[in-house]
Amino acid sequence: MRLRPILAALLLASLATPGLAQIPAVPPPTEIVEKRVFEAATHQTRNGGTIANLRIGYQTAGTLNAAGDNAVLVAHFFSGNSHAFGRYAADQPPGYWDAIIGPGRAIDTNRFFVISSDTLVNLNVRDNRTVTTGPVSVNPATGRNWGTAFPVVSMRDFVEVQKRLLDSLGVRRLALVTGPSMGALQAIEWAAAYPEMIDRVMPVIGTGEVDPWMLNWLDIWEAPIRLDPNWRDGDYYAQGREPPLRGLAAALKIVTVHAQDRPSLARFGRRLPEGQDPARRLADRFEAESALDTAAMARAQASDANHFLYLTRANQLFLNEYDSTEAALGRSRARWLVVASPTDRVFMLDYNREMVATLTRLGRPAELVEVTGPLGHLNGVVGMAPVAGRIRAFLNAQP
């Protein structure tokens, strides 16, 4: 059934399609990981807001050394969660970067203590494998869901919550901070916020700047939610009110198409579903449209529209505390490996070349590696196995 790979894609989140035949097979993971929960009574956001009863989920592999300096932090993409590696049970699917994280792999858990965490306002809030605090959570001051009264959070807020998690685990230094897409933005934010703590940075399919062009793309992503009458300015949690599922599904479809390259959808051709004829009836659909509509609606029912909006705003606030990208990157003391997809339609190759040029101008060791494949932006989520050797060499190089 052709719908299945698309459903898998939407469940990933830079929204990948791991069932495609072009993606190389990876060896089965050898580690079972456990989902854990980090909690704090309160958290102060960068804009002065207060979040009560903060909770995020995380998973780890490997062992932290006595010095607390062999840690690797993996941040996730827009609609991902902490499941970057391993399996939760023998019959469960592996994490999205399992091909490069594990015993003997590029990010070797025999050598490194690897941590991956859920973000605040995580899109997968209705998934029982995701732990997050956000608009769906109950505000203890009112006894009701926060809704859009939840404080606006930035990429730096994600970093600050991760820092509290690392402190609780005894991590003193990061041998590497990395992640794909939105995870790349978090890695870069880490390099600017805590330069003295980080040896290496590996942003994958990311950017050093969310410029006006990207700001507007993020606005386009979220526009269908704001236009859905069921959104009600974010106040749709009360009993008897319908959530803005149509708007959220349309938003997820936009992200899906934006994050993929032409070959990844070519399998549909111009086929028509049975009984459909767009040449005769305006309401009829092509298979490429209806399949993604169906998959996006299934994903919307497992997600939350306000969480989507808070995530897009966090992306728009990337490095917002610095005068410029150069000022932010200039704080870094780390070695950099920038991994980009040449067919990326989201964070295009030019963004990554510009970031490497800026880092080089600032005197930071930086190199660019390309990850290729049929999936465009998503090559950096499910197609990382071919660059494992470059990652291993990067981790073996002196910081």
Provide the annotated active-site residues.
Answer: 181, 344, 377
Return d(Cα 255, Cα 237) in angstroms, integer: 24
User: Could you tell me if 330 and 362 are in contact, meaning their C-beta atoms sit under 8 angstroms apart?
Assistant: yes
Structure tokens belonging to residue 98? 């399992």
Q: Which residues, listed in sequence order, are joined to residue 116 by a DSSP beta bridge? A: 59, 74
CA 383 to chain centre: 15
**Three-state SS for 378?**
helix
Structure tokens belonging to residue 237? 């949690």
CA 396 to chain centre: 26
Closest CA to 74 of 49, 110, 100, 93: 100
User: Could you tell me if 82 and 118 are in contact, meaning their C-beta atoms sit under 8 angstroms apart?
Assistant: yes
Return d(Cα 266, Cα 379) in angstroms, integer: 16
Count Cβ neighbours within 10 Å for each residue of 284-301 and write b for 16 or more, e otherwise: ebebbebbbeebbbbbbe
Return d(Cα 40, Cα 90) in angstroms, integer: 31
CA torsion, ordered 375, 380, 381, 384, to nearest 10 deg: 100
User: Could you tell me if 394 and 200 are in contact, meaning their C-beta atoms sit under 8 angstroms apart?
Assistant: yes
User: Could you tell me if 18 and 11 are in contact, meaning their C-beta atoms sit under 8 angstroms apart?
Assistant: no
Contacts 24+ apart (CB under 8 A), 235-244: 235/147, 235/148, 236/147, 236/305, 237/136, 237/144, 237/145, 237/147, 243/304, 243/305, 244/305
Task: Give the torsion sign (CA, 184, 190, 195, 196).
Answer: negative
CA 278 to chain centre: 36
- Report, in this order, helix, strand and coil percent for the chain, each rounded to 5: 35, 15, 50
